[in-house]
Amino acid sequence: MNDFEAIPDHGLGWLEASGEHADIVLSTRVRVARNLQGHAFGPRARVNDREAVLREFRAAIERSPGLRDGVLLELPSVGERMRRILHERRLVTRDLLGHDDGEPASGTAVHFSTRDPVSVMVNEEDHLRAQSLVSGLRIQEAWQVVDRLDDELGRELPFAYHHDFGFLTSCPTNVGTGLRASVFMHLPGLVLTKEIGKALRGLGELGLTFRGLYGEGSEVVGQFFQVSNQITLGRTEDDLVDGLERAVRTVIQKELEARHWLTREARGITEDKIWRAYGLLRYARSLSFDELMALLSSVRLGKSLKLLPGLRVYSLNKIMVFTQPAHLEQAAGRDLSPEELDEHRASYVRRVLATEGDVSATDDPSAGDPSSEKP
C-alpha cells in the first residue's frame, strides 16, 4: 500500500492541541533507534543492505497482527512535493528525503500504524527508527506506544544488541536504549524576561539538550524549543522518560512564573506586542516563514494570557504546518517562487484568522487606555 491519503489523521494528530499544557507544550515525540544484525548502518549501507532491511521489515509487519493493517510508504515512489509534506509534518527526517534535492535512497520508507500514533522510518541513519508524535505533554504515553511496537518488531527481527552496550546504533550518542524523548515547547515568557539562558543551562546540567523545530542543527525560531534527553546509555528508559518529564514540568512552572511577571510588571508593553503581532498577521500581504513564526509566538502568548479568547490553539498549530513551502504549493496546485510563497503564506494566515479566530468582540477599545485607569 503506497497511499498518502491512508495515513491515519494525515499525520496531523499532533496538532490537535489536546494534551496537557497544550498551549506551552505543542507536542511530545519519543523515538527508539534499532538496527538489524548483518547489515552496515545507514551511512555505510549499500543498496543491497538497504533493500534487504526493507524486505525484512516488510515481512515482519506482515507477520505481526498488530502492524499488518498499517500504511507503508516507500519514499522513492512518493512524489517530490509529498515527500516534503511528510517532512513538514515532522513524519520523516530530512535525511530520509535524500540530500541536495536528489532522489531518496532505495529502500527508504516510512510505516504508519493504524492502531497507535506511531510510525517507523526505514533506512534512516539507523535501519529502523520508531517514533510516536503526539499532541501536548504526553511523554509516558508516547514511550509506552513505542515500547510496545519495539517489542512486537523485536519478536520478528534480529536486532543488533550487545550485552554491555545495549541496542547498537550508527552514532555512539544513541547507543544503549536508543531512546530520544523530546518535548516541543513555546517559551516566550522565559525569553522576554531573559531567564531562558539560565533555564537552558539548567537543562544541560540534567543531561538534557535543546534544539530548534526540526531537530539537530535546526535554528530556534519564534521562541519554540525542543527539549530532549542527551544521554541514552547507563540509564533505564523509565529513568530517561521520568527525568525529562520532571525537568519539563519545572520549565513549564518557570515559564508560567515569567508570564505572570510579564502581566504584572510589563502589562502595557506585553499587550501592545501581542496586539501588534495579531494586527500584522491579520492584515499582512506578505510574510516570510521566520517573520510568521515570530508573530505567531506573540499571538500564541496572547492566547495563553486570555487576551485573544476567540482563537484556538489548534488554529495556531495548524498555521505553523500549513504555511510551509510544500503545503502552500500543494494548496496552490503548482510550484511557487519565494515571493509567491510569502504572499500565499500571508493569505492563508488571514483566512484562518478571519474564519477561525474572530477576536474583534474581545477588543474592548477602552482596554489598556491609560486615561481610563483609576489612580
Partner 1 sequence: MSEMICENCGSTDAVVHLTQIVNNQMSTHHLCEKCAAEKGLDSGPAVGDMPLVDVIAQIAEDPAVDTHWGSGQCSFCGLTHDDFRRTGRLGCPHCYESFSAELPRLLRRIHGGAKHVGKVYLPPDPSASELEKRLDGLRRRLERAVQSEDFERAAEIRDQIRALEPA
Q: How far is the CB of 332 from partner 1 (least distance, A)?
A: 39
Check: CB of residue 213 under 8 Å from CB of residue 155: no
Which residue, 265 or 363, has its beta carbon nearer to partner 1?
265
Which residue, chain included where needed, has cell 495515513?
A: 7
* Interface contacts to partner 1, rule CB under 8 A: 35, 37-41, 43-44, 125, 144, 147, 150-151, 154-173, 175-177, 179, 193-195, 198, 201-202, 204-207, 209, 230-238, 243, 246, 250, 258, 261
Check: CB of residue 179 under 8 Å from CB of residue 238: no
Which residue, 171 or 367, has its beta carbon nearer to partner 1?
171
Which residue, 176 or 325, has its beta carbon nearer to partner 1?
176
C-alpha cell at 201: 543551562
Q: How far is the CB of 120 from partner 1 (least distance, A)?
A: 17
Check: CB of residue 268 under 8 Å from CB of residue 211: no
**Burial profile 22-44: b = 16 or more Cβ within 10 angstroms, e = fewer:** bbbbbbbbbbbbbbbeebebbee
Q: How far is the CB of 141 from partner 1 (least distance, A)?
A: 11
Phi/psi of residue 70, each to 5°? -70, -175
Which residue, 89 or 180, has its beta carbon nearer to partner 1?
180
Q: How far is the CB of 42 from partner 1 (least distance, A)?
A: 8
361 secondary structure, DSSP code: G
Q: How far is the CB of 71 from partner 1 (least distance, A)?
A: 25
Provide the sign of the torsion angle of the four alpha carbons 135, 35, 213, 347, taken in this order.
negative
Nearest to 346 by CA among 366, 363, 322: 322
Q: How far is the CB of 234 from partner 1 (least distance, A)?
A: 2
Which residue, chain included where needed, has cell 541514552?
A: 232
323 secondary structure, DSSP code: T
Which residue, 88 or 125, has its beta carbon nearer to partner 1?
125
Q: How far is the CB of 38 from partner 1 (least distance, A)?
A: 8
What is the secondary structure of 96-148 as a DSSP string? HH-STT-PPPTT-EEEE-SSSS-EEEESSSSSEEEEEEEESB-HHHHHHHHHH
Which residue, 201 or 306, has its beta carbon nearer to partner 1?
201
